[in-house]
Structure formats: structure tokens, C-alpha cells
Amino acid sequence: MKFSKYFIVILAGVFFILGFNTLQNSKPASKNERIYSYLKQHNPYYLEKRIGGFSILSKDDSIKEKPPITEVYHRLETLEQGWGMKHLKISNNTLNIYNDSNKIIDKIDFQNNDEKQWTQKYYNIK
């Protein structure tokens, strides 16, 4: 076999590995279904599909971000975590959701310790 045949095989392998790594890095973090779906109602950030990918919009104001497709989920998670640090507090086995004026608008009772640990880890709260 000639060098050019080896080169094509090696080049295809490198592209496959780089593509797979990019796909793995752009995946969103795993979330607790029950807690996250409940908090999604109160979270002001959401994704909007557009021709070139996704935009991140805010319900509260006119913030619109258009991050690259490989970073969109990581940016959304960063915004959600910032919101959670300001608006979520855990007391005993209950997650309290606060509005901008620091009044409790909703509560979620944790069904198990995994939900509590996920909430603390994902939103960086205690």
C-alpha cells in the first residue's frame, strides 16, 4: 500500500474522533426529570429554534443570545444556574422558589435525597 492510502485512512479516523468528541462535549448535562420540569415553568430562559440553530430567549426582558450550536446547551445551563442561585433556596426537604422581590411563589417537596443532591449540585445552592 502506498502512503496516500494510509494517509486517507488516518485522516478519516482523526475526523471521526474529533467529530465524536465535539458531539459528546456539546451534550447537555443530565437533569432530574421531575424537579427540572417543574422548575422550567418558573425559569425565564428558553430555547427557540431558528434556521441557523438555536437562540436563547428570556421571558422577563428582551435578552436574546445566539451562541454557536456546540455551546448553546452549556450557555443555557449557565443562565439557568445563575437564575437558580438567586431564586432558589432549600430549607429542610423543601425547595422554595422566590420571585425578584424575594417572596416565595412556589414550593417543591423533595421525594428522595437524589433530587435534593441534584438540585444542590446543578444550581450550586445549599
- pLDDT by 10-residue block (mean), the chain, 126 residues: 79 91 79 89 88 84 82 89 92 90 90 91 86
pLDDT confidence of residue 84: 92
The one-character DSSP state at 71 is T
pLDDT confidence of residue 95: 92
Question: Is the separation of the CB atoms in 70 and 85 below 8 Å?
Answer: no
Instruction: Tell whether 6 is covered by a domain.
Output: no
For residue 94, what are the β-bridge partners?
A: 91, 109
The one-character DSSP state at 74 is H
Number of independent structural domains in the chain = 1
pLDDT confidence of residue 67: 87
pLDDT confidence of residue 1: 60
Instruction: Tell whether 105 is covered by a domain.
Output: yes
Instruction: Tell whether 8 is covered by a domain.
Output: no
Residue 83: domain span: 31-123
Measured CA to CA, the distance from residue 66 to residue 82 in angstroms comes to: 18
- Residue 4's H or E segment, with its range, is helix 3-25
Query: Taking the C-alpha atoms of 56, 60, 63 and 67 in order, what is their torsion angle to the nearest 10 degrees?
Result: -20
Instruction: Tell whether 55 is covered by a domain.
Output: yes
